[in-house]
Amino acid sequence: MKLPTIGASKSKNAFVAILIILLVVVIVAYMVSTKPKPPPVEIKQKVWPIEAMKVSVGQVVPKQSLYGTVESTSMVTAAAPVSGVVAAVSVKDGDEVQKGDKLVALSDADIQLPYQIAKADVEDTRAQLQLQALAYKSNQAKLDNERKVLAIREEDVKRNQELIKKDLASKSTLDIAKEARLKQKLSVVNANLSVEENKLKVAQLKARLAKAEANFQQAKINLKRGQLVAPYAIRVSKVSVSAGDRVSPGTALLSFYGLDSLELKATIPAAEVKDVYAAMQQGQSFTADYLSYGQRYELHLKRLAGEASTSGLNAYFSLPKTLKSVRPGDLLQVRLRREPIANGFAVPYSALYGSSRVYVVKDGLLERRKVKVLGETPVKGQTWVLLKGGVQSGEQVAITHLPNAVTGLKVSVMEP
């Protein structure tokens, strides 16, 4: 029997191994070829749910929200005219009183006594002027008499001089006449001095009388001010004293303001000032709406401030007399009405991106449109923005603000 060689055995083993490998490859290939294929993956774009509204393009009235403070143009602080005691206080803080109603009264003794003293001083000065008038008349008559006597003395001297020339009189007689003339001249000077002194005294008394009359007028004013009454229809802002308080001149008694003196000071933004001023120069008037407890009030623009600031310009609005609930210091929100503008529309602020674009929903996709901001307007208790631009009536504007909003973004409009 012939035994197989070692080389033949190795060849047989290698063939078997190759056969096994080929068999495995065939099996794997078969399994791969018969494996079920998965369906192709379909990539879908996300659909963003939003709210949208149809716009109606037409004439709109822009309204600018302003915040202002109520002020008074006639805030008055009444002060005590003289030192004294407060006798009565007839009002309290916040009271509304009519013209002529009593407010505060000082003690009669404190205001009547200075009045009586000033009155007596005037009467005394007038009496002294009358005495000086009599004295002036007397001194003037005396001066006239002294001048007449002096004229007689002059004639006497001349006559004696003529007699001496004719040796009919002695020199001593002439000397006596000259001495008498000299004394009479002195009498005339004294009489004239009395008249001039009288004139100065009259001037002094007239000045004193003017001063006394001024003091008397001040005393009359103080007497009137001591019984403080309402000069017109007012509201008491603050009462600073009570009955029994002792006050000095200048002490504040109370503060008040006229009921028709209230106005609203509001700041118009700097960006709007030029338009408002230009419109006013063309004769346009502006009004602002104020809503209080369901009632609307119209406030008319009276004037613009004389100085501007970086934030804007103060505007002053008149307050209607029917609006009695406001007080100085109240903060009010009003809406300044502008001239109507054509081809505008209103949407919530959430529809506005930046300051110049909105998105319209068209065939389920967003489409950017450029717009211009006109102002604001109240809608259903909310503040909406007024726009003008590339949006037509009937188009749907997206009012849900999407941070990733771009043209072509797929959206679905939710039912309200």
What are 373-401's pLDDT values in tens digits?
Answer: 888 888 887 889 999 998 999 999 999 99
Do 376 and 62 touch, CB atoms closer than 8 A? yes
Q: pLDDT per residue over 277-327, tens digit each?
A: 888 888 888 899 898 888 889 999 999 998 888 888 999 999 988 888 899
In the chain, where are the structural domains located? 52-60+341-413, 64-72+261-337, 109-225
Q: pLDDT per residue over 20-44, tens digit each?
A: 787 777 777 767 777 666 666 555 6
Q: What's the whole-number mean pLDDT along residues 243-263? A: 92
Q: Is the dihedral of CA 378, 383, 388, 394 positive or negative?
A: negative
At a CB cut-off of 8 Å and minimum separation 6, what does 180 contact?
153, 156
CATH code for 64-72+261-337? 2.40.30.170
Q: What's the whole-number mean pLDDT along residues 156-185? A: 79
Query: Which strand ranges, in their side-by-side order, compose the sheet holding 234-239?
Result: 76-79, 252-258, 234-239, 96-97
Return the percentage of the chain with pLDDT > 90, whole number: 39
**Could you give the 3-state DSSP secondary structure of residue 374?**
strand
pTM summary value: 0.61
Q: What would you measure as the largest C-alpha separation in the chain, in angstroms?
A: 232
Do 414 and 396 touch, CB atoms closer than 8 A? no
Q: Give rounded-to-5 percent helix, strand, coil for the chain.
A: 40, 35, 30
The structural architecture, per CATH, of the domain 109-225 is Orthogonal Bundle (1.10)
Element (H, E) at 4: none
Q: E strands along 321-364, which residues?
A: 331-337, 341-348, 357-362
Q: What's the whole-number mean pLDDT along residues 96-110? A: 91
Q: Is the pLDDT of residue 136 over 90?
A: no
Residue 78 class from Cβ within 10 Å (0-12 exposed, 13-18 middle, 19+ buried)? middle
Do 267 and 68 touch, CB atoms closer than 8 A? yes
Cα(345)–Cα(173) distance, integer angstroms: 127
- What pLDDT does 1 receive? 45
At a CB cut-off of 8 Å and minimum separation 6, what does 376 contact?
62, 63, 64, 65, 335, 383, 384, 385, 386
- What pLDDT does 416 receive? 57
Do 398 and 358 touch, CB atoms closer than 8 A? yes
Cα(352)–Cα(230) distance, integer angstroms: 55
At a CB cut-off of 8 Å and minimum separation 6, what does 151 contact?
none
Between strands 331-337 and 63-72, the pairing is antiparallel
- What pLDDT does 35 receive? 66
Q: Is the pLDDT of residue 134 over 80?
A: yes
Cα(205)–Cα(121) distance, integer angstroms: 12
The structural architecture, per CATH, of the domain 52-60+341-413 is Beta Barrel (2.40)
Lowest average pLDDT, out of 128-137, 175-184, 236-245, 301-310, goes to 175-184
- What pLDDT does 283 receive? 82
- What pLDDT does 266 receive? 94
Cα(301)–Cα(221) distance, integer angstroms: 39
- What pLDDT does 7 receive? 56
Return the percentage of the chain with pLDDT > 70, whole number: 94
Do 302 and 248 touch, CB atoms closer than 8 A? no
Lowest average pLDDT, out of 48-62, 139-153, 341-355, goes to 139-153
Q: What's the whole-number mean pLDDT along residues 364-379? A: 89
- What pLDDT does 180 receive? 83
Between 177 and 232, the higher pLDDT residue: 232
Q: Is the pLDDT of residue 6 over 60?
A: no
List the Cα angle 106/260/329 in 5-degree steps.
Answer: 85
